[in-house]
C-alpha cells in the first residue's frame, strides 16, 4: 500500500493528513471532508479548521490498568481527543473507535465528559473502594485549551481534594496554574505529584511538533511556580525523538533544573498503530531532508519495527541509541540535582464522600 499523501499543512494543526482507519488499523481511505468548516474556499485556500466538542456521558469514569511499567493502576480522562495536536501522541488511535480519524479529527473533533466529577464521587463512595494515586493527563491532556471553558479537570480535582484522594497530574500546559489553589492544598498533605512535559525548547520545532501546546518557556515557568507553591514537580522529556529533539536533552534538563524541578524522566517516541503513518507524513511535510534517518533510528530503537509494544521496553527502547539516550538523561539529571526519588504520595488520608446523601457512620 502506498504511503498516505500529506494534505497541505493546516494552520495550527499537527497532523498533515486525515485518513481514516479500517478496523484492521491500516489507513485506507480519505476522510469525507466534513472536518472543514465550510465547503467554500478563501482565496483558493481551504478555510481554517475549527474545534468542535461533543458531550459524552460515560457510565463510569475511572479507567483501570495492570501495566507493570507505569506507576499507577487507575486514571481519569476528562476529554477524548486533544487540541494540542501533538503529532506523536500515542492516544491518537483511540479516535478510530468512534469511526473518526486519528489524524486531524483527533485534534479537532473532541469529546468532553462534564459528568466526570459526579461519576467520580459515586465511584469513590462505593463500599470497599481502596484509594491509590489516580492519574490525570496520561492519555490526553486534562489541561488542553477546551478546559478553559469546560472546567472538567478542575471539577474532578475538587472532588479529589475534598476526599483527600492521592493524585498524579501529567501535562504540557501552564493552564495547570489555574488550579494551584487546589494543588497546593493537596501538596501540604502529601497527596499530589505533577509532571510537566517539555519536548523541545526550540519554538520552530514546537510549532510543528505540538502546535497548540503552550510555549516551552511557559511550561518551565509553570514548574517554577508549582515548586514555589510547594507542589512536587518533575520534568518529563517526552517524547525524545532521534534526530529531531534528542540534541536538546542536556539543554532541557539544565532549564528544568534552573526552574526547580526535583526529578527528571523521559520516554522515547512511540508510534503505535495509525501514529506511525501519521508521523511519517509529518516527517515528509516538515523534515524531508532527514525523514529516512529518523525512521531508521526509531526502528533501531524498536527492534527493527516502527513500534515495540512490549512492557518493559516500550517506554525506553533497546539498542545502542536507546542506551546512549538513557546515559545522557541519567548524567544530566545527576548534574542538575534531578536524580532524586519523587516524594511518596499518601493514600492513608482518604475519606469517602457521602453516599446516597448519607454520611458514613463508620
68 in any annotated domain: yes
- Number of CB atoms found within 10 A of residue 188's CB: 12
Is pLDDT of 45 > 80?
no
Is pLDDT of 44 > 90?
no
- Has this prediction a pTM greater than 0.95? no
Long-range contacts of 326-334 (CB under 8 A, 24+ apart): 328/249, 328/250, 329/237, 329/249, 329/253, 329/264, 329/266, 332/249, 332/250, 332/253, 332/254, 332/264, 333/253, 333/263, 333/264
Q: How many domains does the chain have?
A: 1
pLDDT tens digits for range 180-200: 999 999 999 999 999 999 999
pLDDT tens digits for range 289-298: 999 999 999 9
Is pLDDT of 114 > 80?
yes
The x, y and z cell numbers of residue 346, run together, are 499518601
Quick one: pLDDT at residue 172?
Answer: 97
Band of pLDDT at residue 24, cut at 50, 70 and 90? very low
CATH number of the domain bearing residue 249: 3.80.30.30
112 in any annotated domain: yes
pLDDT tens digits for range 130-171: 999 999 998 899 999 999 999 999 999 999 999 999 999 999
Lowest mean pLDDT among 9-18, 31-40, 62-71, 306-315: 31-40
pLDDT tens digits for range 73-91: 999 999 999 999 999 999 9
| Residue range(s) defining the domain that contains residue 156 | 34-40+50-335
pLDDT tens digits for range 210-225: 999 999 999 999 999 9
Quick one: pLDDT at residue 68?
Answer: 84
- Number of CB atoms found within 10 A of residue 351's CB: 11
362 in any annotated domain: no
Q: Mean pLDDT, the chain, as a whole number?
A: 89
240 in any annotated domain: yes
356 in any annotated domain: no
177 in any annotated domain: yes
Amino acid at each position: 500500500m502506498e504511503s498516505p499523501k500529506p494534505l497541505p499543512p493546516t494552520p495550527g494543526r499537527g497532523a498533515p493528513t486525515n485518513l481514516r482507519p479500517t478496523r484492521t488499523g491500516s489507513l485506507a481511505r480519505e476522510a469525507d471532508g466534513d472536518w472543514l468548516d465550510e465547503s467554500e474556499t478563501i482565496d483558493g485556500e481551504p478555510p481554517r479548521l475549527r474545534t468542535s466538542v461533543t458531550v459524552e456521558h460515560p457510565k463510569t469514569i475511572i479507567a483501570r490498568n495492570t501495566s507493570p511499567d507505569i506507576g499507577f493502576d487507575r486514571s481519569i480522562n476528562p476529554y477524548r481527543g486533544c487540541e494540542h495536536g501533538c503529532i506523536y501522541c500515542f492516544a491518537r488511535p483511540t479516535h478510530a473507535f468512534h469511526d473518526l480519524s486519528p489524524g486531524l479529527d483527533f485534534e479537532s473533533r473532541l469529546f468532553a465528559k462534564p459528568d466526570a466529577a459526579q461519576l467520580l464521587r459515586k465511584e469513590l463512595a462505593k463500599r470497599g473502594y481502596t484509594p491509590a494515586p489516580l492519574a490525570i493527563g496520561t492519555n490526553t491532556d486534562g489541561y488542553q485549551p477546551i478546559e478553559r471553558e469546560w472546567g472538567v479537570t478542575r471539577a474532578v480535582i475538587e472532588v479529589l481534594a475534598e476526599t483527600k484522594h492521592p493524585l498524579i497530574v501529567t501535562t504540557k500546559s501552564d493552564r495547570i496554574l489555574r488550579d494551584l489553589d487546589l494543588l497546593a492544598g493537596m501538596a501540604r498533605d502529601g497527596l499530589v505529584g505533577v509532571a510537566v512535559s517539555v519536548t523541545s525548547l526550540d519554538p520552530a520545532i514546537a510549532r510543528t511538533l505540538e502546535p497548540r501546546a503552550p510555549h516551552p518557556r511557559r511550561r518551565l515557568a509553570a514548574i517554577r511556580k508549582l515548586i514555589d507553591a510547594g507542589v512536587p514537580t518533575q520534568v518529563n522529556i517526552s517524547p525524545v525523538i532521534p534526530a529531531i529533539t534528542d540534541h536538546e536533552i542536556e539543554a532541557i534538563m539544565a532549564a528544568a533544573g534552573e526552574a526547580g524541578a526535583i526529578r527528571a524522566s523521559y520516554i522515547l517516541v512511540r508510534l503505535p498503530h495509525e501514529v506511525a503513518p501519521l508521523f511519517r507524513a509529518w516527517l515528509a511535510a516538515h523534515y524531508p531532508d532527514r525523514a529516512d534517518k529518523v525512521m531508521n533510528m526509531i526502528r533501531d530503537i524498536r527492534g527493527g519495527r516502527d513500534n515495540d509494544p512490549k512492557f518493559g521496553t516500550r517506554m525506553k527502547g533497546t539498542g545502542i541509541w536507546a542506551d546512549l539516550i538513557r546515559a545522557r538523561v541519567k548524567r544530566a539529571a545527576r548534574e542538575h540535582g534531578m536524580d532524586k526519588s519523587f516524594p511518596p504520595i499518601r493514600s492513608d488520608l482518604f475519606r469517602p464522600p457521602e453516599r446516597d446523601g448519607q454520611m458514613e457512620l463508620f
